[in-house]
Structure 1
Amino acid sequence: MNCKRQPPPGAQHLATDTAGDLRLYQHVFAQNPDGMLIIEGHQFVVCNQAAADLLGYDGAEALLGRTPEALSPICQPDGHSSAKRAREVVARAREHGSQRFEWQHLKANGDPIWVEVRLTTLDRDGPPAILVVWRDISRRKALEAEARAAHASLEAIVDHTPVGLLFLDGERRILHCNPAFLRMTGYREEEVLGRTTAFLYTSHAVYEATGEAVYPVLREGHTSEIEREFVRANGEVITVSLLGRPLDPGALSQGFVWVVQDISERKALQAALEREATFDQLTGALNRRRTEQALSREMERSNRHGTALSVALLDIDHFKAVNDRFGHAVGDEVLSDLVQRCIASLRATDLIGRWGGEEFLLVLPDTGQDSALQLAERLRQRISEGRTSTGQRVTASFGVAVYQPGESLAPLLKRADDALYRAKDRGRNRVEHQPAGG
């Protein structure tokens, strides 16, 4: 009888499977494109070629017996000690079974390299060990650094640009604004973030109308350029230029970027220049050029619609004598007072312009001969009621002419001028009329 102990059924088959698994694991370890290492204690005891290649070493044996911190800079980029941090993460891996983090190692030539590290405790007989897997994330970290730099540059531009910037969501709520916008409007950041821009407009109707005006433009992918009035935190109203673009023309719900510029001073300057180019600075009447333009428009309208139109030239009587006796200051007073008296008696559609010196032209739309003569007479009486600061009575003479269809400017004004001089010849302080062909 053979008393030698026989292996249990299937034992030889189990041994064969275990050996096959071991060879498979060794093959996966050796051929894995990620760096794979095993730590015992605090040293690398096993290493695949991919780990050596990752750090630029010729063979895996160059890493054996070395510690993680020996292959790292003294400090990680966040300023923490590599030696202390390495021992901390290894200890946490032993405690929790695994750890995953980003780490900066040093290559053989001293260049830094970013890797994603995964630590996994190994359940095996023998000394406790940890499987280390390195994956190169240098490209990703470089892209992240570039993105951070670009973002920092953009933030610097946004924060330091002298014009206001508004970033809105699809509901026109403010997601972000720059310091220039806050300075412009006088609000604090916490007062505007999350609110729609409705509070900036002079009324909700203007806010709604602005949306209706700009949305079609933005939807086409174009830049919207408009001017609106904004209300500052202190209630002051300013004029702003708004330049807007959608983040995605095909999906306005993605939001918008608006450039906001305070143009109040520019608009005030434009208005002042327009007033200077339009009005006589002393009297407030239209200047001669604008008076001629206004008369030409009324003549065209009269021709087009067949409406009546009259003009009247008025001249201050004995104005030179007033200037010579009392000085130009009193003369200026007489001119200004005359214009204000006329304006007070004219309709909103009537115009008065300084034609030259002490001569003024009245443009009277929708006014026939009788009405023009009556108006001129009222003005004559109103002027004669005035007195200068020296107590002098002021009078004026009027010459009236009615526009004839198709007539040019020169003959119309010639008839008014003839009527004026007839009033002068007949004693001044009177109204005369010069009919067509007369």
Structure 2
Amino acid sequence: MSNPGVPAKPLGLFGDELSAWGVALAALVAGALLTAALAMATQTFFKQQLRQRFELLASERYSRIVERFEEQELRLDGLRRFITYSSEVTPYAFDGYARPLLHRTQAYSWAPRVASGQRSAFEQRSSALLGQPYQIRDLDAQGRLQPAAMRDHYYPILYTQAASHEAQPYGFDLGGQAPRAAPLARAQARGSMAVSAPLDMINVQPTYTRGLLMVAPVFGDEASANGLPRGYVMALLSLHQLIAESLPTVADDNLVVRILDLSNEGGHEVLFDSGGPPARMGLASSHLLHLADHHYQLDIRPSQDFLLANQSSAVPVVALLGGLLSVLLALLLYSLFSQRQRALGLVARRTAELRVSEQSLRETHNQLRSVLDAATQVAIIATSLRGVIGTFNAGAERMLGYSASEALGQLRLEDLVLADELHQRAHALSQRFGREVGAGQAMFAETAQEGGAQPADWTLVRKDGSHLLANMLVTAVLDEQGLWVGYLAICIDVTERRRVHEALAARDRLLEKLSAEVPGGIYQYRLDADGHSCFPYASQGLHEIYEVDLAVLREDATAVFERIHPDDLERVRRSVRYSAEHLTPWREEYRVCLPQAGLRWVRGEATPEIGEHGSTLWHGYLTDISDLKRVEEELRALSVTDALTGIYNRRYFQERLRNELDRAQREGLDLAVIMLDIDHFKRINDQFGHAVGDHVLRSLCQRIAHRLRRTDVFCRLGGEEFMVLCPGSNAEQARVLAQELWRGVRSVPVEGVGRVTASFGVAGWRAGEGADALLLRADAGVYAAKQGGRDRVEGELLS
């Protein structure tokens, strides 16, 4: 159907009197102006790109140079620390450490401090170390080495490791020349590295004669007394070797690099020049380099190769293409306007064809009406721009109770929506858009403006006044020219779905309430076939047990296993795998390490079942049993401890003796026991009372326990009888220990009683012997001590 309200725009853009040549000329002039502007923009963009490429190359070259300077400082500092922490530095040790450092460095040397009074002894000792004559020397005016003049102290080169095969200047005193003495003084004052001004190095390759001397002081124990360093480690650097090595050659480099020394106020000496002429461009990059306590200026400019490698043909190409496009556009417009008359003839023929198409469209409309009526479960309603209903299918009749004749042209879409809800949404839209939105526009303004992609829930009013919850999707209806001519609303009854959702929500709330009241945590744990695991459901109690966000556990269970104590982790993983493989219930008790609660004990139980895609799903619970474990530990401690003395009781001794006998038999180890009985203990109880007797027992236990080794086991068998178990000791070693215990008991009187003595018996375990036989021999030793007058130690009796 056509739209009479919005006429189509005529095809012609100009009047009939405007010639095709005029239109073509105007297009040609506009294209030329646009091409010129685009060419200028392209040239500007190319210059920006060229600057960015240069700055990137310059930044990379600066970073590499800085890295090499820092590398030299680190190497020299490493050599300094090697000298500092070495009690004695031999030529072999110095060469072994310094040789790997000779990368982009001419030499590394060690110059110790030598006092004038120690010069002769130092020269003799150095000659013996180096295996050649050694003498402290200076450079004369001709650059030859000669014996050094008398000074308070010297810093002669003792060890050196150089890249050159020239003879090395052993004994050359660094303090004899001002250019070399200056960095020594700065390094001593600062306590850190210093670099000399550019100087001529001796005994190096001719290519690298001009360079720098970098020194670092080495302070020893005597530095605090006189403030002088123990000596200096030094590095000879040639910037030509340091910078140019591993960098592109002059023929291949796109940059011209120069490094200037800034220390000379009269002029800046060039320490490094990569060579090659710079390009005549306004591009340059300057940086300040730092080496120890010295600063150097780094100048980087592009080379001719850089300019050649970055030439651009974009501007002429843009001009050429722009011109061609302008000409083509002018020709195209000329062709279009010249063919206008022929197009009018084609329109007439096309009109006849459209009449045929209109008949076909009516047939299609009837088919569409049949389809709409067949959709009995969905309400399809079409309206005009004013909202008046123009299409009302059978599904709408069934859903809303109106017949098509009652709705078409009589009702608006807003008449079918609950009025209060429509006004509420209109008010919300008015606040959002900042302008008044009428109730009749609420559903169209909210849904159609956003493209109709998101449906919304509306409360519809049936003919009988009852309400219906529906999900409505509103889209715009366009004609053949793309003009907006109406709206299409598709409604689906979601009343039953809403009821199901509310029931599910109520069930979820009930489940959360029940799980909150259950001690511990209720959970579902899923282990996929690829090893990934997660908790599809976890109650709040699981957060209290593991102190992990439940949202994280729904995606990945790794955080739970990170909380398990390392000693228990493998056991837990193994039990989970076994439960998954055999589908048996999972039960475990293990420890967890929590950020806030610390170490806790957890007991878990779960029942597995086969899940989707080869996974295993457990349903179970976890509970904190830390208090139960603590009570168990306290009960166990009470079961093996003597209540009066605090040492182990007979039960623990028998258990420990059995274990030690098994270990001694299995590993062939020594084992011995010491039995002791307090002399005349009944007399003490009768004379002073049982309270004093208990005090005597506790006092003797404290003395003996202080003299025992950590591996010895001290137990009370009952009454005044005690036993010491000595793993790893033979009979003779146990006898020595018993003598020491005997002296400790009798040497200090007990308050209120006086001196208390004891009789000791010692027995060493014999291969194949049982516990009863071993204890019987120890008891025999105690009996022998008592028969011999008490207050003594009886060693092992031979049987």
Of 290, 294, 311, which aligns to 2:652? 290
Query: What SS does the corresponding residue of 2:748 show, helix, strand or coil?
Result: coil
Of 163, 166, 175, which aligns to 2:520? 163
C-alpha displacement of 1:315: 1.2
Q: Residue 324 of structure 2 corresponds to which residue in structure 1?
A: none
Of 222, 228, 241, which aligns to 2:602? 241
Q: Residue 590 of structure 2 corresponds to which residue in structure 1?
A: 227
Residues 119 and 130 in structure 1, CA contact (< 8 A), matched pair in contact too: yes
Distance of 1:123 and 1:262 partners within structure 2: 70
C-alpha displacement of 1:272: 0.9
Structure 1, unmatched stretches of 5+, are: 1-7
TM-score between both structures, scaled by the size of structure 1: 0.71
Distance of 2:358 and 2:704 partners within structure 1: 121
Residues 238 and 262 in structure 1, CA contact (< 8 A), matched pair in contact too: no
Distance of 2:572 and 2:611 partners within structure 1: 12
C-alpha displacement of 1:432: 2.6
C-alpha displacement of 1:291: 0.9
Q: Residue 51 of structure 1 corresponds to which residue in structure 2?
A: 396
C-alpha displacement of 1:48: 1.6
Highest relative contact order (Cα 8 Å, sep 6+), 1 or 2? 1
- Say if 1:86 and 1:382 are closer, same or farther in 2 by CA, change over 3 A: farther
C-alpha displacement of 1:121: 4.6
Q: How does 1:63-82 map to 2 (within 5 A)?
A: 65=410
Residues 676 and 760 in structure 2, CA contact (< 8 A), matched pair in contact too: yes
Q: Residue 339 of structure 1 corresponds to which residue in structure 2?
A: 701
Residues 313 and 417 in structure 1, CA contact (< 8 A), matched pair in contact too: yes
- Say if 1:423 and 1:109 are closer, same or farther in 2 by CA, change over 3 A: farther
Q: How does 1:39-438 map to 2 (within 5 A)?
A: 39=383, 44=389, 46-55=391-400, 57=401, 65=410, 88-90=442-444, 92=446, 98=452, 100-105=455-460, 110=466, 112-121=468-477, 130-138=487-495, 140-141=497-498, 144-145=501-502, 148-149=505-506, 151-153=508-510, 156=513, 162-163=519-520, 222=580, 225=588, 227-228=590-591, 230=593, 232-233=595-596, 237-241=598-602, 262-433=624-795, 435=797, 437=799
Please tell me whether Structure 1 or Structure 2 has the larger radius of gyration of its CA atoms. Answer: 2
C-alpha displacement of 1:30: 1.9
Counterpart AA for 1:116: M
Of 26, 31, 55, which aligns to 2:369? 26
Any idea what the Cα deviations from partners look like across 1:346-376, whole Å, max 9, x if unmatched? 2333222111111112222333332332222
> What is the count of residue pairs matched by the alignment?
419
C-alpha displacement of 1:277: 1.3
Q: Residue 56 of structure 2 corresponds to which residue in structure 1?
A: none
Distance of 2:693 and 2:781 partners within structure 1: 25
C-alpha displacement of 1:384: 1.3
Distance of 2:726 and 2:536 partners within structure 1: 55
C-alpha displacement of 1:269: 1.7
C-alpha displacement of 1:211: 6.5
Query: What SS does the corresponding residue of 1:393 show, helix, strand or coil?
Result: coil
Counterpart AA for 2:660: E
Query: What SS does the corresponding residue of 1:313 show, helix, strand or coil?
Result: strand
Distance of 2:796 and 2:575 partners within structure 1: 56
Residues 522 and 622 in structure 2, CA contact (< 8 A), matched pair in contact too: yes
Query: What SS does the corresponding residue of 2:750 show, helix, strand or coil?
Result: coil
Residues 30 and 49 in structure 1, CA contact (< 8 A), matched pair in contact too: yes
Distance of 1:379 and 1:292 partners within structure 2: 22
Distance of 1:14 and 1:249 partners within structure 2: 59
Distance of 1:104 and 1:183 partners within structure 2: 43
- Say if 1:434 and 1:210 are closer, same or farther in 2 by CA, change over 3 A: closer
- Say if 1:239 and 1:85 are closer, same or farther in 2 by CA, change over 3 A: farther
Distance of 2:777 and 2:651 partners within structure 1: 20
1:35 aligns with 2:364: no
Residues 444 and 474 in structure 2, CA contact (< 8 A), matched pair in contact too: no
- Say if 1:172 and 1:110 are closer, same or farther in 2 by CA, change over 3 A: same
- Say if 1:224 and 1:414 are closer, same or farther in 2 by CA, change over 3 A: closer
Structure 2, unmatched stretches of 5+, are: 1-350, 428-437, 551-555, 581-585
Query: What SS does the corresponding residue of 2:737 show, helix, strand or coil?
Result: helix
C-alpha displacement of 1:133: 1.5
TM-score between both structures, scaled by the size of structure 2: 0.43
C-alpha displacement of 1:101: 1.6
Distance of 2:703 and 2:548 partners within structure 1: 46
C-alpha displacement of 1:39: 4.2
CA RMSD in angstroms comes to 5.3
C-alpha displacement of 1:279: 1.4
Any idea what the Cα deviations from partners look like across 1:94-138, whole Å, max 9, x if unmatched? 7778573222446769574433333545759xxx75332112445
- Say if 1:201 and 1:395 are closer, same or farther in 2 by CA, change over 3 A: farther
Distance of 1:97 and 1:348 partners within structure 2: 82
Distance of 1:95 and 1:300 partners within structure 2: 87
Structure 1 range deviating more: 347-356 or 57-66? 57-66
Query: What SS does the corresponding residue of 1:429 show, helix, strand or coil?
Result: coil
Any idea what the Cα deviations from partners look like across 1:212-271, whole Å, max 9, x if unmatched? 6656665677569463352544xx74324275999x9999xxxx9998755443332222
Distance of 2:407 and 2:748 partners within structure 1: 110
- Say if 1:137 and 1:213 are closer, same or farther in 2 by CA, change over 3 A: same
- Say if 1:298 and 1:17 are closer, same or farther in 2 by CA, change over 3 A: closer
C-alpha displacement of 1:10: 4.4
Residues 425 and 442 in structure 2, CA contact (< 8 A), matched pair in contact too: no
Any idea what the Cα deviations from partners look like across 1:127-161, whole Å, max 9, x if unmatched? x7533211244565455445544554565566665
Once the two structures are aligned, what percentage of the paired residues are identical?
A: 27
- Say if 1:72 and 1:390 are closer, same or farther in 2 by CA, change over 3 A: farther
C-alpha displacement of 1:324: 3.2
Distance of 1:259 and 1:19 partners within structure 2: 68
Q: Residue 4 of structure 1 corresponds to which residue in structure 2?
A: none
Distance of 1:298 and 1:95 partners within structure 2: 87
Residues 219 and 249 in structure 1, CA contact (< 8 A), matched pair in contact too: no
Counterpart AA for 1:115: N
Counterpart AA for 1:47: F
